[in-house]
Amino acid sequence: MHARQQPGPAPEWWRNAVIYQVYPRSFADADGDGTGDLAGVRERLPYLAALGVDALWFTPWYRSPQADGGYDVADYREIDPALGTLADAEALIADALALGIRTIVDVVPNHVSSAHAWFQEALAAPPGHPARGRFWFHDGKDGGRRMPTAWTSSFGGDTWTRTAGPDGEPGQWYLHLFTPEQPDLNWNHPDVVAEHEAVLRFWYDRGVAGIRIDSAALIAKDPDLPEVGEHHEPGTHPHLDRDELHDVYRGWRKVADSYGGDRLLVGEVWLEDIDRFVRYLRDDEMHMAFNFDFMTRPWDAAALAESIRATLDAHARVGAPPTWVLSNHDVTRPVTRYGREDTSFSFAAKRFGTPTDLALGARRARAAALLTAALPGVLYVYQGDELGLPEVEDLPEGARRDPMHFRSGGTDPGRDGCRVPLPWTAAGDTCGFNTTGAPPWLPQPAGWGSRAADLQEADPDSFLNLYRTAIRLRRTEPALRTGDFAWTEAAPGTLAFRRGADLTCVVNFGDAPADLPAHTEALLASAPLDRDANGGGRLPGDAAAWLRN
């Protein structure tokens, strides 16, 4: 185990951090019931310390009916019983910090669970009661027969559900941009503002270093509830990226800053307009936001170079660190995505039966890992990507849980394929996910153990050791920590850039080998290099290398 000194207060520790995303239900199962838990994460902290990460981001671990993988929160002050207790969370935060690893937790401000006490109170109250003011209740059109709007859910389908009164007669409608089990909150209500600021304090008081803000651009709604048109002036969409929501995050920033300046706010901000995107990163709002533009681009030199340039330029304008991420708990894993004819990602394009070449995808995913790790800013790693796990696309009939699949009428495979429990050992019924052999909550595919962490630890050329070495070099090489970024000359179909005075990253997106620039040392490569005695050589297709100049 590679323990590091426990970090104290360190303002801006996050500017070049490596942050590892944990989906707790699928990480490790300590109590053997088939569902991952916080005790399982605690047991695997030595693995995470050896990987070299600076922080863990946990998807929601709060009490939840699990209608949407925990993003339907019933109580922010309780841990879901399937995952553990509040004491388990506090112990995990402390144990991780003792190894030099900070903790980031999810907050979901757009909505709560329909099981939340507020919503249950609202359902029991009559129309016009103050309890309904925390949500978006509406009488509807045509005497209540029609929904207030024709807005489309982020998961497909309608965004309004009609309630029933005590006598069973149809009542008001309520808004949910996701599932009916996730009623949207009304951010014009002071209770909503005050409660979320209290939730931030609750978790900051327990030692978390940061808050990740889910669906951050959705929380404000036009109270007139107009329909969504083909075009809206910036800041005027009925429920996306409205100008007034920035006051909410200014309030959150004041809470974070009151803890000494080393607490973090991270936004999930899905916006195509990069100028609107960086407004969330002004110095009185969030510290950083996820770079979805880069993540969804195809495996193509020109497309990724365009994204890198735009990202660096936009973040420089506001002084925020860029972030680089290849996948998360919502997105098809890189090994599968990069092996397809269309290597980009969009939710609308996900379909069953899309062919993929996993060997090709693995080569490209290894190269992409070095590309992202060499860029200036923050690196995010989704659990299992460091093992080169593919998307599990052949889950058995009846195993899927994701509402995106069901609300699409079964045409969208959903997101379960990237959430299958991790393989820790080559042996065992559950590949080390637990020791009881209890079936995991999502079934692992045949051959999952061949990708296990214990096998990869012993293989110097494995995905795991590639990630470990890259993360170690990010920490130990001054050029990768704080060095300037500059593009350098590259052959067609390749990218090359310099970090600092003496380190170059080269990526070959083509099939054929490409000439390497002159160098004195190859620090790391995603595939074997063909080097010559004169300081040159060839870089294989779909490969990347870090070179000392």
Q: How far apart are CA 76 and CA 37, in angstroms?
A: 17
Task: Name the DSSP class of 59.
Answer: P
Q: How far apart are CA 521 and CA 479, in angstroms?
A: 15
313-318: list long-range contacts, CB under 8 Å, 24+ apart: 314/274, 314/275, 314/277, 314/278, 315/278, 315/281, 315/377, 317/278, 318/278, 318/281, 318/282, 318/283
The residue behind tokens 């294989």 is 540
How do strand 170-175 and strand 137-138 relate by DSSP bridges? Answer: antiparallel
Task: Find, among 548, 519, 549, 101, the residue nearest to 538 by Cα.
Answer: 519
Task: Name the DSSP class of 170.
Answer: E
Backbone angles phi, psi at 185, to 5 degrees: -85, 155
How do strand 210-213 and strand 264-267 relate by DSSP bridges? Answer: parallel
Annotated catalytic sites, by residue? 214, 268
C-beta separation of 108 from 68 below 8 A: no
SS3 content of the chain, % helix, strand, coil (to 5): 30, 15, 50
C-beta separation of 444 from 421 below 8 A: yes
C-beta separation of 185 from 134 below 8 A: yes
CA distance to 37, 70, 407, per residue, from 81 (Å): 9, 12, 27
Rg for the chain, CA atoms, rounded: 24
Task: Find, among 362, 351, 288, 273, the residue nearest to 319 by Cα.
Answer: 288
User: CA angle, corner 155, sides to 151 and 161, nearest 5?
Assistant: 55
User: CA angle, corner 123, sides to 120 and 124, nearest 5?
Assistant: 90
Backbone angles phi, psi at 105, to 5 degrees: -120, 155
How do strand 530-531 and strand 537-539 relate by DSSP bridges? Answer: antiparallel
How do strand 75-79 and strand 18-22 relate by DSSP bridges? Answer: unpaired
Beta strands in 317-401 (DSSP E): 323-325, 378-382
